Amino acid sequence: MSTSPKAALLEEYALVAQALAAPARLMILEHLAQGESGVDRLAAKTGLSMANCSQHLQQLRRAGLVTSRKDGKAVIYRMTDNRTLALMDTLRIVAERNLARVAVILRDLSDGQDMPDPVSRAELAARLAEGSVTVLDMRPVDEFASAHIPGAVHTPMDTLDRIAASLDPAAEIVAYCRGPYCIYAHQAVAALRRLGLNARRLEGGLPEWRADGRAVATLE
């Protein structure tokens, strides 16, 4: 006599939630959303030790959120599908709307300035088509190289001031980064607006852009 089917189902659902219930694993998922990756690269990106990162990845795999394949001596992990992206996004939305602490952190990120609503991906696509917008990609160079929004200017945080100086004050600027869990775009927009520039944040990041089926460019 095993457990009831109801209890068994709830345990499985809880297992999936459990997989999302550690900051380290959310971080890993954010990076996997950029594209598949081996363990050591993920460990380096997230700052976790190899063994720890490997164990988190196995927990994510047990919950069905990622899958893996072997490639030579490397094991390449990838997100199972972008339903996981939807799950993470709903998680974020619930946290933002229901937890005062989250609202405070987000407000602090913009240094008390009023921030305009983010630009939808559809709107950005339309503006790009008519060439009426400057797009800034705030991610590290390797992520920019592997995929970015066509025409985007690579602007890692440490180059922001320099690039900001070269921007036309009248231009409309849209900044994006890894996605809704990434704060680079928030910080960039806050900094640019403090300089008097007309900057807004893209809704979502590159993974969401790609999930919409929109074109991306790569370097080389």
Catalytic residue among 175, 177, 182, 188: 177
> 204: left (phi > 0), else alpha (psi -120 to 50), else beta?
left
Take residue 54 and report the two structure tokens written for it. Answer: 């490997």
Of 40 and 96, the one with the shorter C-beta distance to DNA is 40
Contact footprint for DNA (CB under 7 A): 18, 21-22, 24-25, 38-40, 48-52, 54-59, 68, 70, 72-76
Length of the chain: 220
Question: In whole angstroms, how close is the CB of 181 to DNA at the nearest point?
Answer: 16
Which residue's entry shows tokens 């109801």?
6
Question: In whole angstroms, how close is the CB of 36 to its own copies at the nearest point?
Answer: 16
Quote the radius of gyration of the chain (alpha carbons, Å).
19
Q: In terms of DSSP bridges, do strands 198-201 and 153-154 run parallel, antiparallel, or are they unpaired?
A: unpaired
H-state helical runs in 22-171: 23-34, 39-46, 50-62, 83-98, 100-109, 121-129, 141-146, 160-165
56 binds, among its own copies, DNA, none (CB under 5 to 8 A by kind): DNA
Question: In whole angstroms, how close is the CB of 53 to DNA at the nearest point?
Answer: 7
Question: In whole angstroms, how close is the CB of 146 to DNA at the nearest point?
Answer: 16
Take residue 170 and report the two structure tokens written for it. Answer: 């009248």
103 binds, among DNA, its own copies, none (CB under 5 to 8 A by kind): none
Contact footprint for its own copies (CB under 8 A): 5-18, 20-23, 26-27, 63-65, 80-81, 83-84, 86-88, 90-95, 97-99, 101-102, 105-106, 108-109, 181-183
Asked if 53 is an active-site residue, the reply is no
- Which residues are designated catalytic? 177
